[in-house]
Amino acid sequence: MSLRFCNLVLRKCLRCPAHVHVAAQVENASLFLNTGGGGVGRLRTTGQIGLHFTPVCFIASKAVSGTLIKSTATETHDRLCHHPASVPPDNDDHKALMVNHPDQPINSKILKVAIIGAPNAGKSTLSNQLLGRKVFAVSKKVHTTRTRAQGILTEDNTQIILLDTPGLTTPSKMKRHQLERSLLLDPWNSVQEADLVLVLVDVSDKWACTKLSFEVLKCLAQNPNIPAVLVLNKVDLLKTKSRLLDVTMELTEGVVKGKKIQVRSAVKPGRGGQDRQVAVAKPDGRPQECGVSALEGRDSDSPASLPEAPVGNSVQRVLSRQELRTLRARRGWPHFQDVFMLSAVEAEEVEALKRYLVVGAKPGSWQFHSSVLTDQNPQDICINTVREKLLEYLPQEVPYNVSQTIELWQEGDQGELEISLKLYVKKEGHMKMLIGQAGQMIARIAQEAGKDLMNVFLCDVKLKISVKVKK
C-alpha cells in the first residue's frame, strides 16, 4: 500500500517549464468593460500596456482585481507549473489517497465552492476546465450529473474544493420524471457547506438569461450569509455581445456588491458605431466607468474582499409565504459579489475565474492530499463517462433507461487497464439502436469513452462493452 502511494506522489511531482506572457501592472489605470464592435468584452486600460485577461471579462471589487493583476505580474518565464493531478485506476490506490493525511504547507488556505444553476448550464464543463482534467461527465442533455461530486484543485499553498452539483429541479419534476432524490437535495446541501457559491447562467438560452429560476433565488435567499458570484456562461454562442450588459442588469437588478451599476451608450472618437459601457456610481454620486476594478468593496481593503462565510454548515433561513411570493416576482438577485462573463469550454477564459478563487481562499487546513483530484472512485468515473456517451449519441429517453454493470476491472500484462462493461436495456429495439449498424455505435462509444478514461487515469485502457436486454 505504501509503495503504491509513493508512486502516486511521484507522478504528481512531474513539472514542466512554462513560458508565461505577462503584462506589467499599470498604475492608476482606468479600466472599463467594452462589448461593442465584436469580441466578447475586452478589458482595456488608458495606459500603454494591456492586461491580458481577454476575452473574458468580469465585474469585481477594486481590491480583488488589484490582487489578480499583481499575482499575474509576478510570474516569470522560467516558472515551473504542476501538471493536473490524475486519478489512480486502482481502487485501493484511490482509497489510500483519500484517507491519507493532507500534505498541507505552512500558511495553508482553502475555499469550498458550490457551483449551482439550471440543468445544462455548463456546471460540469466549468469544473473540468478549472481542474485541468475531465473527471465529470458532460453532455447536451439535461441531468447528466446525477449526484454531487467533488473536484480538488491544489496550487501552491491553496486548495479549492469544487462541489459539482446536479441542476436545480423541483419536487414536482422529480416525481413526474422519476428522478433520483439526489438531484433535488444535493445542490441545497452543497450550498450549505460552501464558502462561496457560483451561480451559472447559460446566456445562449433566451429564457434562462432574462430571469433567474425560482429555485436558484430560493437557494440564495435561504443562505444569505454565503457570498455568491454570477457567472454568465456560453458567451461564445451569443451573437450580439452587447446583450451581455442587459443580461447583467437583469440578473443583478442593477446592483453588484452593494453598488448601483448603469448601462449607457458612448460614441468613441473615430468610430461610427456606439459602444455600451457599464458605469457604477461613485460615493459622491457621479458615475464611474468600470469593468474589472471600479466596484469598490464597501468594508474591506484586503486583497480578497469576499465576505467571510459562516464556519461549518450554515443554517438555512426559513422563508415566509410572503417572502416566497416576493421571490417568484423577482427576476434577479441584487447581492452578487462579482460577475464573470466567459465560455467554460475555453481554458484561457476560465483562468481569470481560477485566479479569483485562489485569491479569495481563506486561511485553513486542507481536507485532501495534494494528489487527490476527485472524490469519485475509478469505477464511478468509468460508469459516468460511458453514460455521457450514451446521452450524446442515443435519442430522447433511451439513454436514461440504460443500466451498467462492471464485470471486469484489472491490470493487464503490459500495465494497461482492462475493463469489461455490460449495458442492460429494457427493449430489443433499444439494444439494436445501441449496437448500431454492424456494431458501429457501440464501437464508437467504447472508443471515445476509453480515450477519455486514458486521460483521467494516465494509462492505456482497453474497454469492452456488451449489451443485453434485461427481462
Q: What is the pLDDT of residue 423?
A: 96
CB 98 within 8 A of CB 152: no
CATH 3.60.10.10 fits 83-262+297-363, yes or no: no
**For the chain, where do the domains classified as CATH 3.30.300.20 start and end?**
378-469
Domain 378-469 adopts which CATH fold? GMP Synthetase; Chain A, domain 3 (3.30.300)
Nearest to 55 by CA among 73, 76, 79, 37: 37
13: DSSP letter? T
In the chain, CATH 3.40.50.300 covers 83-262+297-363
What pLDDT score was predicted for residue 308?
A: 62
- Characterize 47-78 residue by residue with b for buried, 16 or more Cβ atoms within 10 angstroms of its Cβ, and e for exposed: beeebebbbbbbbbbbbbbbbbbeebeeeeee
pLDDT at 471: 77
List the Cα angle 217/220/226 in 5-degree steps: 165
Per-residue pLDDT of the chain (471 residues; tens, 9 = 90+): 554 545 554 444 443 333 322 223 333 333 334 333 333 333 333 333 232 333 455 565 555 555 555 554 444 333 334 567 889 999 999 999 998 889 989 999 999 999 988 888 888 999 999 999 999 988 887 767 667 789 999 999 999 999 887 766 566 666 665 565 655 566 667 788 899 999 999 999 888 788 998 888 988 988 989 999 999 999 999 888 888 888 999 999 999 988 887 655 444 444 444 444 444 443 333 433 333 333 333 333 333 456 665 544 455 667 778 888 888 888 999 999 999 999 998 887 899 999 999 999 999 999 999 999 999 999 999 999 999 999 999 988 888 889 999 999 998 888 899 999 999 999 999 999 999 999 999 999 999 999 999 999 999 999 999 999 987
Burial class (CB in 10 A: 0-12, 13-18, 19+), 299: exposed
State residue 178's pLDDT score. Answer: 59
* pLDDT score of 262: 62
Question: pLDDT digits over 193-207, tens only?
Answer: 899 999 999 999 888
The structure's pTM equals 0.77
For residue 441, the SS3 value is helix
